[in-house]
A and B are shown apart, each in its own frame.
Chain A
């Protein structure tokens, strides 16, 4: 079974509009962390936002917010006021504790294109 599922291979959004990128996850751990990363065409991975499984409030970082619905096991990324520079691949990831290390699993990604 997929640990992290991103069902949208590609998305388009008009500049200045908001967009939601979907992410669902599967884990039996009580303690875990959820991340979103942006990967431009240059290849670097840029950390956007983090949500801990025990955090009661949704994480926010500037124009990024994470819509965390624990019971549904979803962690959608909301980007407000999209900019042309937001065009990139976006990956959802989950970090789970294992004996002696942390296992990190990435989703397949969503390619976001912002239209002027």
Chain B
């Protein structure tokens, strides 16, 4: 199946700093990428959807200025958590679609962010 990578797999940062998470589709062109957030023992919450070359569509309640999403190419999307605070600590997962079957989503392995 299609492969999606995320980098870094885990990151610890200090409160007030910014963190960038990369999501790459390795063997297909991802026309759409999704960013999710998952708290421990909870479901995935969709944060935003991004189509290559256009602005991301954010879900209600997600701060656009805090969670900056860029989908500059068909294989790369980035999520930047700006001015991170401890409450931003979470598991962030990206997924991509547009590969062999447009209805499928392929997930990255996730990034665990801890803000101290």
Residue contact B46 to A104, C-beta cutoff 8 Å: yes
Q: Is the interface of A mostly helix, strand, loop or mixed?
A: strand
In angstroms, Cα B32 to Cα A95, docked, is 13
- Smallest Cβ-Cβ distance to A45: which chain B residue: B107
Count how many chain B residues have C-beta atoms less than 8 Å from C-beta atoms of the other chain: 26
Residue contact B49 to A102, C-beta cutoff 8 Å: yes
Count how many chain A residues have C-beta atoms less than 8 Å from C-beta atoms of the other chain: 24
Q: Closest approach, in angstroms, between the C-beta of B71 and any C-beta of chain A?
A: 11
Q: Closest approach, in angstroms, between the C-beta of B90 and any C-beta of chain A?
A: 12
Q: Is the interface of B mostly helix, strand, loop or mixed?
A: strand
Interface residues of A, Cβ cutoff 8 Å to B: 33, 35, 37, 42-47, 50, 52, 91, 95, 98, 100-109
With A101-B49, A102-B49 known to touch, is A108 a contact of B103 (CB < 8 Å)? no
- Smallest Cβ-Cβ distance to A46: which chain B residue: B107
Residue contact B44 to A91, C-beta cutoff 8 Å: yes
Residue contact A45 to B32, C-beta cutoff 8 Å: no
In angstroms, Cα B46 to Cα A108, docked, is 13
Residue contact A47 to B32, C-beta cutoff 8 Å: no
In angstroms, Cα B30 to Cα A27, docked, is 26
Question: Is residue B77 contacting chain A, with contact meaning CB distance below 8 A?
Answer: no
Contact of A44 among B46, B101, B110 (CB under 8 A): B110
* CB under 8 Å from chain A, chain B span 26-58: 32, 34, 36, 42-46, 49, 51, 54, 57
In angstroms, Cα B101 to Cα A50, docked, is 10
13 A/B residue pairs, CB under 8 Å, sorted by A: A43-B110, A45-B93, A50-B104, A52-B103, A100-B57, A101-B51, A102-B32, A102-B49, A102-B97, A104-B34, A104-B46, A105-B46, A106-B44
